[in-house]
Amino acid sequence: MPAPGPARPPAGAAPSEAVRAAVTAVLAVYLLGLVLSIAGNTGSGSSALVRTLKDRLFSPWMVPPWLDLGFDYRLTYGGPEDADHGLEVRRFDAAGRDAVRLPGGLTGERGARWRRLARSIALAAEDSDRDGLLAAAIGKGMFDELGSEDLSVRVVRTPLADRGASALPTVQAYSARVRMVGGEVQLLRSEARAEVAPLVRPAAGGNPKPEEAAR
């Protein structure tokens, strides 16, 4: 008769003491790392030792439990710059026909990226070094799409309405004409009309009459 082999543990038997001790140690170290990562995730209220341990040892552990990510929603103060922005590109002489609107029907992250791009164009108008760079690049990129080298690039803004209130009308935040002149891209800002002094036709003697100058 063959010699009997080693006895098998019965089904459902608990792991050995060594296995349970190893698992307990791993879980204890992991939970300790999470606690230190959370405690050291700020520059104030934590000691240099905790920050060092977090940065050197436990920082990679913050990503899997989603502890190092931002909010899933926007935090705003309700100002004009926090409104939803959109792009509208069309032929300059098309009077609104064949316009490409972005994000249009796009939702999710793709739509959010187009809204951020439109917002950047509007905010760049306040910086003389960046004003017009994004708008010119977008216009140039749409030449082939719209079959014209003379386009109008607009940024429209939908203000944030109060909870329960009706949607507010869309306003124009930025407008420019982008065209190709002599092989170079030219951008012309569309400025709102301002009040100017009336033109007075001089009289025959060279000086306008008082009643004509007052008109």
The 10s digit of each residue's pLDDT in 155-185 is 998 877 776 777 778 889 899 999 999 989 9
User: How far are the Cα atoms of 1, 94, 102, 139 from residue 97, in angstroms, in the given order?
Assistant: 95, 5, 15, 16
Domain with 94, as residue range(s), is: 80-189
Mean pLDDT of 8-30: 81
28 plus 117 within the same structural domain = no
Mean pLDDT of 76-85: 72
146 plus 173 within the same structural domain = yes
- On whether residue 70 sits in a domain, the answer given is no
SS3 81: helix
Mean pLDDT of 89-108: 82
Tell me what pLDDT residue 181 has.
92
pLDDT tens for 32-48 read 877 776 766 655 555 67
Between residues 109 and 191, the one the model is more confident about: 109
Whole-structure pTM value: 0.53
Q: Which range (5-14, 95-104, 150-159) has the least confidence?
A: 5-14
DSSP string, 102-142: ESTT--HHHHHHHHHHHHHHHHHTT-TTTTTHHHHHHHHHT
pLDDT tens for 102-143 read 988 887 788 888 988 999 999 888 888 888 899 999 999 999
CB–CB of 85/156 below 8 Å? yes
Q: Find the helix or strand (DSSP H, E) in which 172 lies.
A: strand 171-181
What share of the chain has pLDDT > 70, as a percent? 60
Task: Tell me, rounded to whole angstroms, the distance of Cα 34 from its chain centroid.
Answer: 31
- On whether residue 74 sits in a domain, the answer given is no
Structural domain tally of the chain? 2
User: How far are the Cα atoms of 197, 199, 206 from residue 209, in angstroms, in the given order?
Assistant: 17, 13, 9
Rounded Cα gap, residues 27 and 72, in angstroms: 29
- On whether residue 168 sits in a domain, the answer given is yes
Exposed, middle or buried, 173 (CB in 10 Å: 0-12/13-18/19+)? buried
84 plus 43 within the same structural domain = no
